[in-house]
Amino acid sequence: MAKSLIRISDLTDAEILRLCRTAIESPPAARHVNPALPAVGLLFTEPSTRTRISFERAAQRLGRSTILVDAKTTSLEKGETMADTLLNLRALGVGTFVIRTPETGSLEELRAIEDIGLVNAGDGIGEHPTQALLDFATILAARGGDVNKLQGLKLGILGDLKRSRVARSWSQLAPRFGIELVLISPGDWKPDWMTSAHRWTDDKRSALGELDILMALRIQKERMVANQAQGTDDFVRRFHVSAADLHPRQKLMHPGPVNWGIELAEDLKSDPRSLILAQVEMGLGVRSAVLEFLTERN
């Protein structure tokens, strides 16, 4: 049976904690790349810097060679389905696939392929589970690794919630560990996945007053349709966050890439309250742990 991480709900609470603790306390030690082991395929049909390189470095740490499949130069561009591409690559010795695609929900049908591992590195406006996991591990580490200290923690996610797969993965993750999620955006960017477990507001100032951690998001212009980009100037005027907006003990996070001057002011670039680069660093440990978990059999 294939092992897949497509949604946060693919992992139990114990697995989430095990992966994050491994990343924090004992990330897999670097090994020599062994070409005899099944390779890790990186299929990215959308732009990516940190996510792709983070997975690539993580796979190499585990001694796995990596195959980068760029949609523009492969048969995906000639109309081959993702499933066919995976079957062919499996026949060539690729055991685990890390996939980023603009097609929301399109990875579900790949679960049925036997003897492979599958990781969702972002599917349209669907989910981005490893980003939420690395954010979670960063928060856990900042709380001394004590999961009880997450109870009642107030995490605000501010920005383009409607089109954010990071926010959607967080909407699944936060309630499972007692983290209170406060969603902050203009009314038009309110996400359609909200349930009674989530709180939403368009009042940035009062939300910021009560948060332990603020996570800002990039405006996902490439996922906007028709006239949706028109709200951007209004967003910057009302929701832009600068150093003076944060209280002294508040932490700042962002999944990257940051558009400085849009969602965050330039004066936050080297602010001591920022965990943004700690998130990137944690990404390597979390993705190594995730790939180790998935490659146990592939």
Minimum CB distance to ligand NCD, residue 191 (Å)? 14
Does position 165 bind ligand NCD by CB under 6 A? yes
Does position 166 bind ligand NCD by CB under 6 A? yes
CB-based contacts of 22: which residues, under 8 Å, 6+ apart?
A: 28, 285, 289, 292
Minimum CB distance to ligand NCD, residue 58 (Å)? 14
Minimum CB distance to ligand NCD, residue 298 (Å)? 23
What would you measure as the largest C-alpha separation in the chain, in angstroms? 56
Does position 51 bind ligand NCD by CB under 6 A? yes
Does position 131 bind ligand NCD by CB under 6 A? yes
Minimum CB distance to ligand NCD, residue 280 (Å)? 8
Distance CA 130, CA 143 (A): 20
Q: Which is nearer to ligand NCD, 41 or 122 (CB)?
A: 122
Q: Which is nearer to ligand NCD, 115 or 260 (CB)?
A: 260
Look at the alpha carbons of 98, 100, 103, 105 in this order and tell me if their dihedral is positive or negative: positive
Does position 129 bind ligand NCD by CB under 6 A? no
172-191 residues in contact with ligand NCD (CB under 6 A) are none
Look at the alpha carbons of 123, 127, 131, 133 in this order and tell me if their dihedral is positive or negative: negative
Does position 101 bind ligand NCD by CB under 6 A? no
Does position 295 bind ligand NCD by CB under 6 A? no
Minimum CB distance to ligand NCD, residue 273 (Å)? 20
192-231 residues in contact with ligand NCD (CB under 6 A) are 218, 220
CB-based contacts of 238: which residues, under 8 Å, 6+ apart?
A: 186, 202, 204
Does position 156 bind ligand NCD by CB under 6 A? no
- CB hemisphere CA count around 79 (13 angstroms): 0
Helix intervals (H) in the chain: 13-25, 50-61, 82-91, 129-142, 165-173, 204-210, 232-239, 276-294
Nearest to 119 by CA among 163, 54, 65, 172: 54
Which residues are near ligand NCD by CB under 6 A? 50-51, 122, 128, 131, 165-166, 218, 220, 255-256
